[in-house]
Amino acid sequence: MKEIHIIDKIELSDSGLVVKKSKQLAHLCQGDLDGACGVYSMMMCLIIEKIIRREVVTNVSPSLRRNTSDGRLVRSFLENQGMIVNGYELKPLVADLQSAFKKKVNAVYIEDENLLEAIIEQLNDNHPVEIRFSRLRTYGHFVVAIGYMRYDDYTDLYCLDPGYPIEKGQMWNNVLRIDTTSSAKFNCLNMRENRKVFLDEAMVCIKK
């Protein structure tokens, strides 16, 4: 019998999807903080891994000292670079995160020939995975994969998408369906937008 695998660091509560054994909401929707979708997705990974507390980035304290690890994270991603109008590539985002937050996180960049298998390996280790995908003839987007299910001809990645809200009883708000039998570059269907996309690269944040 096929089963959905969801990382064990999140759970549903009366408040909605939260980090396990906490009251911290796991999903960030654009508008919750100042940043591009790549930054939102990165922050979700850090929150789920309990590397930062949600309120550190959604309700920045005026007394937060910028020479601390949390302060450097806020300064680097929410103040110095702000909305990042032209978007973020994942490799420089990983480098910026490692530079600003090196005492607390090991940011692992994933650019594998078989990216899907590399993502699933991380999900099996119960790490949320930030994924960057390209849309055909337009700009890309970032989401956080928190689970998957394999079928005979395709694999579903269950994702937290910062571009959309999430309902209280939901564990994900987008699905990327990868046609594992297709040799086409754009072999992944973004179910939320009903358009074909291509999985570019991924990142995992591991707590030190």
134 contacts 197 by C-beta, under 8 angstroms: yes
CATH T-level topology, domain 1-208: Cathepsin B; Chain A (3.90.70)
Closest CA to 147 of 168, 169, 167, 119: 119
Instruction: Give residue-wise pLDDT tens across range 7-25.
Output: 999 999 999 999 999 999 9
Torsion of CA 24, 25, 29, 31, to 10 degrees: -40
By three-state DSSP, how is residue 41 classified?
A: helix
47 contacts 32 by C-beta, under 8 angstroms: no
The two tokens of residue 207 are 């707590």
Cα–chain center distance at 57: 15
Closest CA to 188 of 171, 173, 176: 176
Q: How far is CA 28 from CA 17, 84, 172, in A?
A: 11, 17, 12
Which amino acid appears at position 43 of this protein? M
The two tokens of residue 94 are 């990983």
Torsion of CA 176, 182, 184, 187, to 10 degrees: -10
What pLDDT score was predicted for residue 127?
98
**Tens digits of pLDDT across the chain (208 residues):** 578 999 999 999 999 999 999 999 999 998 887 667 888 899 999 999 999 999 988 877 776 777 678 778 877 777 665 545 456 788 988 998 998 888 899 999 998 889 999 999 999 999 999 999 998 877 889 999 999 999 999 999 999 999 999 999 999 999 999 999 999 999 999 999 999 999 999 999 999 8
pTM of the predicted structure, to 2 decimals: 0.92
What is the number of alpha carbons within 13 Å of residue 163 lying toward its C-beta?
11
The full set of domain ranges for the chain reads 1-208
Residue 122 is given by DSSP the state: H
Radius of gyration of the chain (CA): 16
Instruction: Give residue-wise pLDDT tens across range 98-122.
Output: 988 888 999 999 988 899 999 999 9
